[in-house]
């Protein structure tokens, strides 16, 4: 017997069942999935921590590198 896993949509709090037929999981719909994507894109949601310089690939500044 398969036990159903019940989840709550992180956007609208609607109750859902986690199953392969739900293409939007963990969301309840395409609408909620797009709302979440928009929140990440607008930086309303972000992972906490110090800002990272996207050009600092080695963990140090190129100006401090003697080979620069």
What is the Cα–Cα distance from 44 to 18, expressed in whole angstroms? 26
Residue pair 65/42 in contact by the 8 Å Cβ criterion: no
pTM of the model: 0.65
Look at residue 59 and tell me if it is in a domain: no
Residue 63 has pLDDT above 80, yes or no: no
Residue 66 has pLDDT above 60, yes or no: no
Total number of domains constituting the chain? 1
Residue pair 18/7 in contact by the 8 Å Cβ criterion: yes
Q: Which tens digits make up the pLDDT trace of 5-52? A: 999 999 999 999 888 888 999 999 999 999 999 999 998 998 888 888
Look at residue 20 and tell me if it is in a domain: yes
Residue pair 17/7 in contact by the 8 Å Cβ criterion: yes
Strand pairing partners for 16? 7
Strand pairing partners for 7? 16
If DSSP codes are grouped into helix, strand and coil, which group holds residue 32? helix
Look at residue 28 and tell me if it is in a domain: yes
| 9 annotated binding-site participant | yes
- Domain span at 28: 1-46
Average pLDDT on 56-67 reads 61
| 27 annotated binding-site participant | no
Which CATH number goes with the domain that contains 13?
A: 3.30.50.10
């Amino acid at each position: 017997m398969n036990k159903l896993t019940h989840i709550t949509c992180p956007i609208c709090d609607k109750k859902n069942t986690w199953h392969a037929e739900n293409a939007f999981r963990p969301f309840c719909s395409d609408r909620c999935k797009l709302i979440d994507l928009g929140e990440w894109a607008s930086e309303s949601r972000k992972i906490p921590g110090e800002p990272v310089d996207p050009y600092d690939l080695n963990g140090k500044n190129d100006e401090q590198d003697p080979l620069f």
